[in-house]
């Protein structure tokens, strides 16, 4: 009987993995799918060599036909890894047992282990980018919908955690949307650099491939749907560091959005709230709690992605023409960062799809703070008569008086103090003063700025289209070993 605890990594937990990643992302990094990718890459190499006449066509056909993990003894491979200490040779040994002696001569012909595994890892990344780009697109669409819907909903802007000036919810969300569009751009440009093959032999010279090395690289890359690099990148891991950095920036944006929703969900603010359903419990001891668990988890995942991205920078430092330490770092860092970013994207889609906007509370908060958050506008009105610095000093003194009174429980509304001050009531009637501090009159170009970002979102969505690429599948996903 297999013990439940054998699934020790949080992303594999039968109970808690849903808070850290998605089943779809986990499947990309399935052990069996990884081995199958190595076979796929080896088969593509053999077919490419046969096309150039380097190996017999019959051998390539047999190798392509038998490069199926369901034909292999997986336990024998596992045992051989323990004996040899090598990650690829046991798979190749098992393959050799499944083919004729003639075809077996041309398995892994001229390649080095890192050629196969780097190329296969790139194919893993290609699958992950399909998910990440698709979900990024979905979030951009959802943010655009929210920004448009709440374009003119006036709310309190806050700086340093304090009430500042009026803004609109549409403008706030437009800032998130603009950042997500840049993340989408980063993913696209990163894709162009990272999705390349590796096929350069032991020290990157292609010596084992003879004079046809460049042609072989081009044919091999094309077969796998990858670009051909200019030279070996066995010790040049900048592409992967860039990809991890791009994931970390994207995760940081998601974390920032989630954290803002958390802050605005505070009981004393109560303006936004993540999705809630009856049965969702916030505390074992406090039945009233409605904790922002989803948003907090997105922040957790953003930190995990960032910490794994730092390993990508460690992997940049290698020795001579090949150093396998970077690859071993990447096997962990790329896998974990990819799983966590997919989890964060999935959670954020749910949050935005069902985001609760408490419009009534937003308006109540604005109404209650109207005079304080309109002091900038009033200052510039007064500045026409007394100069900006004197107007600032006057409003500073009156505002501090009102705030001190409020915190001491002796309520003296700012509007009343303003109306009572001789330097102000000589310039404004009470009605004029009320109009002057109306927050809806002081949102500046919030609507116009929101519209600009919305147009950019539409242009971006049209420019990049919708990803229809299918993910690869596990060769043994319907067998007992995968259950």
Q: What pLDDT, in 10s, does the model give residues 317-349?
A: 999 998 888 889 999 999 999 999 999 999 999
The predicted-structure confidence for 106-148, as pLDDT tens digits, reads as follows 999 999 999 999 999 999 999 999 999 999 999 999 999 999 9
Nearest to 140 by CA among 194, 177, 113, 192: 177
Inter-residue contact 39 to 119 (CB < 8 Å): no
| Mean model confidence pLDDT for the chain | 90
Question: What tokens does 468 get?
Answer: 């229809």
* pTM for this model (two decimals): 0.91
More confident site: 285 or 444 = 444
Of residues 58, 100, 283, 463, which has the active-site annotation? Answer: 283
Q: Residue 232 region, left (φ>0) first, then alpha (ψ -120 to 50), else beta? A: beta
At residue 1, the pLDDT reads 42
Question: Is-catalytic flag, 283?
Answer: yes
Of residues 8, 101, 160, 288, which has the active-site annotation? Answer: 160
Burial 25-36 (b: 16+ CB within 10 A, else e): bbbbbbebbbbb
Inter-residue contact 244 to 337 (CB < 8 Å): yes
How would residue 292 be classed by pLDDT, with cut points 50, 70 and 90? confident
Q: Calculate the CA dihedral of residues 8, 12, 17, 21 and round it to 10 degrees.
A: 130
């Amino acid at each position: 009987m297999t013990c439940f605890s054998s699934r020790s990594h949080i992303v594999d937990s039968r109970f808690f993995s849903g808070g850290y990643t998605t089943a779809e992302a986990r499947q990309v990094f399935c052990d069996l799918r990884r081995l199958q990718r190595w076979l796929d890459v080896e088969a593509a190499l053999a077919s490419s060599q046969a096309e150039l006449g380097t190996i017999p066509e019959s051998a390539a056909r047999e190798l392509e036909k038998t490069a199926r993990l369901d034909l292999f003894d997986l336990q024998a491979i596992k045992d051989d890894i323990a004996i040899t200490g090598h990650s690829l040779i046991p798979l190749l040994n098992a393959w050799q047992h499944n083919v004729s002696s003639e075809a077996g001569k041309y398995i892994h012909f001229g390649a080095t282990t890192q050629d196969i595994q780097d190329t296969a890892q790139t194919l893993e990344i290609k699958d992950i980018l399909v998910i990440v780009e698709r979900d990024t697109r979905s979030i951009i669409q959802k943010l655009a919908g929210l920004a448009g819907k709440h374009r003119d909903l006036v709310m309190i802007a806050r700086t340093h955690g304090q009430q500042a000036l009026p803004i609109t919810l549409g403008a706030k969300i437009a800032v998130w949307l603009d950042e997500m569009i840049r993340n989408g751009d980063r993913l696209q440009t990163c894709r162009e650099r990272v999705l390349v093959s590796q096929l350069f032999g032991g020290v990157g010279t292609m010596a084992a491939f003879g004079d046809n090395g460049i042609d072989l690289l081009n044919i091999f890359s094309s077969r796998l749907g990858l670009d051909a690099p200019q030279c070996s990148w066995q010790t040049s891991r900048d592409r992967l560091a860039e990809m991890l950095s791009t994931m970390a920036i994207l995760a940081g944006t998601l974390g920032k959005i989630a954290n803002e929703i958390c802050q605005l969900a505070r009981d004393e603010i109560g303006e936004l709230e993540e999705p809630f359903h009856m049965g969702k419990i916030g505390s074992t001891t406090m039945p009233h709690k409605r904790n922002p668990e989803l948003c907090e988890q997105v922040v957790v995942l953003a930190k995990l992605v960032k910490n794994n991205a730092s390993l990508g920078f460690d992997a940049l430092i290698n020795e001579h023409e090949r150093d396998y330490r970077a690859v071993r770092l990447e096997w962990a860092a790329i896998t974990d960062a990819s799983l966590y970013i997919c989890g964060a994207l999935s959670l954020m889609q749910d949050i935005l799809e069902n985001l609760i906007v408490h419009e009534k509370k937003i308006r109540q908060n604005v109404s209650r703070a109207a005079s304080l958050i309109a002091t900038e506008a009033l200052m510039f009105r007064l500045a026409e008569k007394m100069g900006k610095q004197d107007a600032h000093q006057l409003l500073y003194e009156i505002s501090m008086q009102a705030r001190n009174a409020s915190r001491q429980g002796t309520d003296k509304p700012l509007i009343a103090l303003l109306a009572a001050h001789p330097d102000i009531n000589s310039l404004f009637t009470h009605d004029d003063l009320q109009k002057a501090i109306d927050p809806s009159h002081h949102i500046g170009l919030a609507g116009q700025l929101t519209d600009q970002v919305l147009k950019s979102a539409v242009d971006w969505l049209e420019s990049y289209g919708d990803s229809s690429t299918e993910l690869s599948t596990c060769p043994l996903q319907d067998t007992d070993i995968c259950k």
